[in-house]
Structure 1
Amino acid sequence: MMNLPILQRMVLAVLTLWLVSLLIFVATELLPGDVASAILGQNGTPETLAALREQRGLNQPALKRYLQWLYPMLHGDLGRSLTNGRPIAEDLLPRLGNSLFLAAYAAVIAIPLAVLLGIASAVWRGTLFDRLTNGLTLLCISVPEFFVGYLLVMFLSVRLAWFPSLSMVSPETGLSERLYHCTLPMLTLVLVVLAHMLRMTRASVGAVMSSSYIETAVLKGIVNWRIVLSHALPNALAPVINVIAFNLAYLVVGVILVEVVFVYPGVGQLMVDAVTKRDLPVVQACGLLFGGTYILLNTTADLLAMWCNPRLRHGR
């Protein structure tokens, strides 16, 4: 039988996803202009605009359009683009693969590095290493990711010519070439998410290291690395998992600015182009995809935290 707190979190995730779909639809309805004006431009007359809106169903009530959008979405049909009439899934899925590749590329480097540096900062608290890592993480948190990207382009691409400034990839691009072209956006994402994960790992492990049972282990003469790995880290794992899941969600959801800076063909770039063209079904599909990914990763983090800490499995 499924545990009650687990069931509550799953129901809450479904309810949150529905609220996200409602907010996305309302937000896109508030955008100025519509796709008919964007397609016809200055050549559009009131008659042609009305005919195009009638053809694309833009003159129907908002509630009816929401239900017509949501019901197929529940069955995996993302709808069709208003600008070219193509199924949205044909354009979205390849872009999703590119975004997931970039997120995985950054996560493989950022997560182990953040956990190791966070543990080292907690163990060597107050040392020069700890102060240096704290200063660098504060700097990375304070600087927007698009500015970090432009700095990397300036130094590593323009001045040193180590990496290309544009991350143009295609389905025919090989793995090694893809990794090379994605290096600068990967470094941008790593520098942004590394700081959050490192500081949370340091705080969690540091709080556990000040516990009385850790002091007892020290008095028993247990070596320091064994105390950290066997006693401190398992009890500090739940908040670390949460912050890792949060930053994984950011790597997928928060890549819009990074993809725009490096002209990377991902979901974020597709969403920006769709907003420019007022292609609302594409914007809504991208927004729902981002929201669903964020909710899924955070729900997974809650379930993993409950698995690591049995006390969280029982309601209070």
Structure 2
Amino acid sequence: MGDILRLVGKRLGLGLGILLIISAIIFFMVELLPGDIAQAVLGQGATPENLAALRKEMGLDQPALVRYFDWLTSAVMFDFGNSIVTGESVVDTISTRFANTLFLAAYAAVIAVPISIVLGVLVALLRNSIFDRVVNVLTLTSISSPEFFLGYILILYLAVKTGMFPAIASLSNDMTFGELLHRTFLPALTLVLVVTAHMMRMTRAAIINLLASPYIEMARLKGTPPWKVIVKHALPNAWAPIINVVALNLAYLITGVVLVEVVFVYPGIGQALVDSVSKRDFPVVQACCLIFAATFILLNLAADVGAILTNPRLRHPK
């Protein structure tokens, strides 16, 4: 148990260090953008006195390094300041949208994870068959297609031509859970098509790699059915790489939804990021980027911990 805690502590410390570096990159990359934030807020007709007053109010009269540490200290306390455009708290602005993004990611994960694992086991069991070749072609096509392209294809065939689902994933407070699932099905399906292909191929590769192990050959020589060899002997030892790739794809579901949310006009944090960039609302942009980075690092940490717990060689390193 002590070895596991030490490994988790090292991973956590490394993750915090990476997040600190990313926070500096986010802040100073925004600083390097051309133009004056105060000028962008007040417009071209602003007087020098108004610009100076707004710059002082926003802290722009202080050195960049001082403003970075002030921003980082506030961010640790979940205070990202106020939106330049609306004047509201950034946390209040993006909290609901982040919850919507988490729901969309969870919706896609509930569909994608079981399907990808089952398909991975089946194609490993039926390796080099017609089914294996067809699935490989379909998954390669899905991986190679950009998210926005898949989204527009789904809109064309499932929304425009058939009218089965709405093309715009608009949400309201008075809709039922069934209506929520119906309205968000197309963006969730777009994410499912992307991540299922990757997870399925990794599951297939992990199981096929284990099928060449001596204990698998022994099980076959004993007359064990092929499905039982995979399910009972190969799959338990393949959980470590499978858990790792599932966690990485869950991180993608949360941090890679920007294009999907824009295509379907879904009110998530990705859409908020795009809107804030177009309006030069830099506090919201910085907060969204930092949340994306923290979420990705946290899920990578979960993948490392899951791999450690499912692999005895990692639990008891020599």
TM-score, with structure 2 as normaliser: 0.95
Q: Measured at CA, do residues 171 and 37 of structure 1 come closer, stay the same or move farther in structure 2, by a change above 3 Å?
A: farther
Q: Which runs of 5+ in 1 are unaligned?
A: none
Report 1:124-143 matches (<5 A): 124-143=126-145
- Structure 1 residue 51, shift from structure 2 partner: 3.1
From 280, 283, 299, the equivalent of 1:281 is: 283
Note the C-alpha offset of 1:47.
4.2
In the TM superposition, what is the alpha-carbon distance from 1:105 to its structure 2 partner? 0.4
Sequence identity percentage: 53
For structure 2, the 5+ residue unaligned runs are none
CA distance in 2, matches of 1:173, 1:290: 28
Alignment partner of 1:39 out of 30, 38, 41: 41
Could you tell which deviates more after superposition, 129-138 or 18-27?
Answer: 18-27
Asked if 2 retains the 8 angstrom alpha-carbon contact of 1:33 and 1:278, the reply is no
Cα gap change, 1:34 to 1:161, in 2 (>3 Å):
farther
- Kept after mapping to 1: 8 A contact 2:78/2:91: no
The answer to which of 110-119 and 7-16 deviates more is 7-16
Hey, what does 1:196 align to over in structure 2?
Answer: 198
Give the Cα–Cα distance (whole angstroms) in 1 for the partners of residues 192 and 11 of structure 2.
29
Quote how far apart the aligned CAs of 1:315 are: 4.2
Matching residue of 1:294: 296
Structure 1 residues 78 and 151, CA gap change in structure 2 (3 angstroms): same
What's the counterpart of residue 245 of structure 1?
247
1:109–1:190: 8 Å Cα contact kept in structure 2? yes
* 8 Å Cα contact 1:5-1:315 kept in structure 2: no
2:12 is the alignment partner of 1:15? no
Between 296-305 and 43-52, the greater mean CA deviation after superposition: 43-52
Cα deviation, 1:102-133, whole Å, max 9, x if unaligned, reads 00000000010001101111111100110011
Of stretches 95-104 and 270-279 in structure 1, the one that deviates more from structure 2 is 270-279
1:151 is aligned to 153
Q: Quick check: 2:154–2:186 contact (8 Å CA) kept in 1?
A: yes
Q: 67, 70, 73: which one pairs with 2:72?
A: 70
Matched, 1:231 2:248: no
Aligned to 2:96: 94
1:311 aligns with one of 295, 310, 313? 313
Superposed CA deviations along residues 1-23 of structure 1, whole A, max 9, x for unmatched, are 64232221111111111111111
Structure 1 runs of 4+ aligned residues shifted over 4 Å read none
Counterparts of 1:164 and 1:146 in 2: how far apart (Å)?
Answer: 16
User: 1:164 deviation in Å?
Assistant: 0.8
| TM score, norm. by length of structure 1 | 0.96
Q: Deviations over 1:182-201 (max 9, x none)?
A: 01101110011111101100
Distance 1:155 1:46, change over 3 A: farther
Deviations 1:149-169 (A, max 9, x none): 111111111111111110011
Distance change (3 Å), C-alpha of 1:314 and 1:8? farther
Superposed, 1:99-178 pairs within 5 Å as 99-178=101-180
Q: Count matched residues.
A: 316
Alpha-carbon separation, structure 2, partners of 1:58 and 1:178:
43
2:43 alignment partner, SS class: helix
Report the residue type matching 2:118 in the other structure. Answer: L
The CA deviation string for residues 51-99 of structure 1, in whole angstroms up to 9 with x for no partner, is 3222222232111111111101112223221222211111111111100
CA apart distance, 1:221: 1.3
1:29: which partner in 2?
31
Q: Does 1:54 align with 2:31?
A: no
| Counterpart residue identity of residue 191, structure 2 | L
